Chains A and B, each alone.
Chain A
Amino acid sequence: DIVMTQTRPSLSVTPGQPASISCKSSQSLLHRNGNTYLYWYVQKPGQAPQLLLYEVSNRFSGVPERFSGSGSGTDFTLKISRAEAEDVGIYYCMQTLEFPLTFGGGTKVEIK
C-alpha cells in the first residue's frame, strides 16, 4: 500500500498570515498518463470532509483562491495564502493512484 505521511499533526496560524501543510507519499503518484493523483481535503468541525484540491493543484468548485497546491512525485504542499477563521479544520492528503486509496494522518489547523 502507498503510505501517505503528514509529519505535522497540528498548526496554529494567525489570521491573515500564510500557512503551509506538507504531505509525502511512499512512492511516486505520477501516473503514466501524466497526471499526478494527489488530492487534498479538509474536515471542518462536525462536518463531512470537503474536496479542496485535485491532482495536486486544481481547486475544486467554490474553493477560495487563497488555497493552492504544489509538488510532484512524492512531495506535496498545500498553502493557505492568508488564513481566515473559517479555515479551521483537519487537512488530509490522499492518493488515488492505486487501491487501496490511502490518506495522510491529517494536520489540524487552528486559528489564533
Chain B
Amino acid sequence: GAVVSQHPSWVICKSGTSVKIECRSLDFQATTMFWYRQFPKQSLMLMATSNEGSKATYEQGVEKDKFLINHASLTLSTLTVTSAHPEDSSFYICSASIQGNEQYFGPGTRLTVT
C-alpha cells in the first residue's frame, strides 16, 4: 500500500516552455502533498506543501509564479514549471501523507531544460 506515482519520469524541454509534472497517490487519499527538488549529490529541498482544495504554501526562496502547484483532488497534485530555464533542470520528487509524520515518495521526475 501507500504507492505514489509521478508522470513523466523524465522530460526534456526547450528553454522558455512550460512543463507539467503529475503526482498521484494510487491507493490512498492524501491529505497533504509535498514537492521537493534535488540537485545532484545534494539533499532533498522542500519546495512547497499543498493541501487539497487550497493554495500551496511555498518555502522561502521558491517562486510561486514559476512553480505552479495545483492540488485538485485527494489523489492528484501537479507541479508546472513555467518558462523553464536551464537552471531549473533538476530532479523533482513529490510525496504524499495520509496523516501523521510519514510521507510516501514518488519515483521522481528528471527535468532537463535545453
- Chains A and B are bound partners: no
A contacts, CB < 8 Å to B? none
B contacts, CB < 8 Å to A? none
